[in-house]
Amino acid sequence: MARWRSGRRNIDELNAWQKADEFSTLLHDTCSELHVDRNKEWLIYLLNQAGRLMRDALEEGWNRTYLAEYLLGISEALTFVALIDYYLVFLRHEGYLTVERAHEVEGRLSDVQDALTALAGRLREELRASPEGSLSSFPWSVN
């Protein structure tokens, strides 16, 4: 099994995590600046939560037992990226975000997405290449 805990670096040394962490802070700051109607306050809460969960999913995956679970953490983080993307589009359409601010935030989100996607790709390669990788570690691999 691809256990991998020992000898690892701290997660905050990882480029993808740094980007996610910085984005989470940027998102928080952006949300703090927004003046939304009272009936849209939940949206600010949700965006902040998604930013936090994106970062936490990475960290949680990093701290799990298997390499595959780290990959799963990245998949979950990418899922939160999609949620943030969806609501940023809405806020821009509705005029809550200025075009400049939207470009900045969406650009940084895109950077995070690219970094996570690239990282997931590299991990998948590692898992495929490893003799203890996913397919060979299957208890029920067939053919």
Q: How far is the CB of 93 from other proteins (least distance, A)?
A: 4
DSSP assignment string, 72-139: HHHHHHHHHHHHHHHHHHHHHHTTSS-HHHHHHHHHHHHHHHHHHHHHHHHHHHHHHHSTTSTTTT-T
Residue number with CB closer to other proteins (72 or 102): 72
Q: How far is the CB of 106 from other proteins (least distance, A)?
A: 13
Q: Which residues partner with 66 through β-bridges? A: 3
Q: Cα 35 to the chain's mean position, in Å?
A: 26
Interface residue list for other proteins (CB under 8 A):
1-3, 42-43, 46, 49-50, 53, 64-69, 71-72, 75-76, 78-80, 82-83, 85-87, 89-90, 93-94, 123-124, 127-128, 134-135, 137-140, 142
Question: Is the Cα torsion angle 94, 96, 97, 99 positive or negative in sign?
Answer: positive
Q: How far is the CB of 41 from other proteins (least distance, A)?
A: 11
Residue number with CB closer to other proteins (21 or 61): 61
Residue number with CB closer to other proteins (99 or 142): 142
Q: How far is the CB of 100 from other proteins (least distance, A)?
A: 20
d(CA 23, CA 106): 10
Residue number with CB closer to other proteins (11 or 120): 120
Give the CA diameter of the chain.
58
